Amino acid sequence: MQFRYPNGKKFVPKRIVNKQSDVIKDERYSNRGMTLEEDINNTNEYYRAHGIAVIHKKPTPLQIVNVSYPKRSAAVVTEAYFKKPSTTDYNGVYKGKYIDFEAKETRNKTRFPLQNFHDHQINHITEVIKHGGIAFTILRFTILDEDYLVYGEDLLPYFSGKATQKSIPKKEIEAMGAIIPIGFHPRIDYLKIIDRIM
C-alpha cells in the first residue's frame, strides 16, 4: 500500500544511517521492535475504546517491603517480592464469554520452547477450559515477526505426563494454530480468530 501527501506527492520513508555501525535502517520496519505485550495492550485498548471487548493485563501480585520518599508527593518502591506465581497474562469478556490467555515470545525460528511456560500457567489454562471459558496462547516468533493463536485444548497435550518433547516444532504450531495478521488498528486482531469458534 502506498501513502500520498494531500498534494498527491508520494510518501517515501526516510532511511536512517546509524553512525555507530553505518547500517542503514528502514523506518518501515521500526514497529517490529515492539514487544508482544505492547502490541496486545494496544490492541486491547482499541477493543475497549470501540466497545468490542473488555480485556486487561493482569497485575503481578507483589508484596512491597521497602518504600522511599524522595519527594513529599512521590513514593518509590525500593524493595518488593512476588507474593505468589501469577496465572496467565490477560483475561476479560468478549461477547458474553470469559477469555483468558498467555502471551509468549521466542527468538527461535523453528520451534517454541516449552520451558517458556510454567506449571501454574498450564494448570490455570486447564481450569479455565474445565469451567467453559476460552483459553489460548499467543505465540510470537520475534525474528520472523509472526504471531500465532493456539487454543489451550491444543496446547495442553504437550504438557501431559506422557509428553517428552522440550519444544513444539513451528510446523505443528502452524497446523494447529492460526496466524494473526499484523495490522494498524487493531495491531494484532486476535478476536477475529476467536470468532471462528464462537
For 160-181, write each residue's pLDDT tens digit: 876 778 999 999 999 999 999 9
Contact 125, 113 (CB under 8 A): no
101-113 pLDDT, tens digit each: 999 999 999 999 9
Q: Which residue, among 59, 55, 110, has the nearest Cα to 82 in the 3D structure?
A: 59
The pLDDT value given to residue 30: 37
- pTM of the complete model: 0.73
Average predicted confidence (pLDDT) for the chain: 82
Q: What is the mean pLDDT of residues 114-141?
A: 94
| Contacts of residue 180, Cβ cutoff 8 Å, sequence gap at least 6 | 138, 147, 148, 149, 188, 189, 190, 193
pLDDT class of 7 with cuts at 50, 70, 90: low
The pLDDT value given to residue 24: 41
H or E segment and range at residue 103:
strand 97-106
Domains defined for the chain, CATH in brackets: 33-197 (3.40.1350.10)
Contact 120, 134 (CB under 8 A): no
